[in-house]
Amino acid sequence: MTCYLNNKAATDEALDSEGWFHTGDVGKVDTHGHLWITDRLKDVMKVKGFQVSPSELENILCGSPSVADAAVCGLFDAGLASELPRAYVVPSSKHLLAQCTPNGPITPELQALAQDIKQLVESKTVRYKWLAGNVVFVPAVPKSPSGKILRRMLVGVQGVEVKLYLSRAEKAKL
């Protein structure tokens, strides 16, 4: 905070009109009045003009007993000029985990899990937060030694991709 001391321009930029300092953290207050810091603003995706927190979707996914771990990032769609939420999911079942080979086949079991994930996210979020960027089943989510998800490395992670929604072009052909 010392960079704001005797620096009116920096102070005015950091504080809003009501005198609040914006830290860049995202949080919520629970029913007991406790503040929980859940994310950073810089980790937010822009989906069709809306801000979407990857950690919100990750928490929903990891709440499923069928999911051991998950990471979400934005997948840019040039046709929509927007990012789409894309989930990288580690199944909790050892049988399903063995099927998560790079570019492997979509087995009926993985397809069923993808549909369960789709229904879970749809039941707990608004439409623009749905996993329109698909689900990729992977053996592991890349993390730092401290356990933080390395989102920049997700793009290179290969697994079994399951498409959850038809594109507009595919719908038009029907």
Residue pLDDT, tens place only, 83-112: 999 999 999 999 999 999 998 999 999 999
Are residue 97 and residue 157 in the same domain, yes or no?
yes
CA-CA distance, 121 to 64, in Å (whole number)?
10
Q: How far apart are CA 144 and CA 163, in angstroms?
A: 28
Q: 75 and 28: one domain?
A: no
Q: What is the CATH number of the domain that holds 148?
A: 3.30.300.30
* Distance between CA atoms of residues 88 and 138, nearest Å: 6
The DSSP bridge pattern shows strands 50-52 and 67-77 to be unpaired
The stretches in the chain having pLDDT less than 70 are 1-4, 24-26, 37-42, 167-174
Tell me the whole-structure pTM to 2 decimals. Answer: 0.75
Domain interval for residue 23: 1-41
Residues 28 and 92 in one domain: no
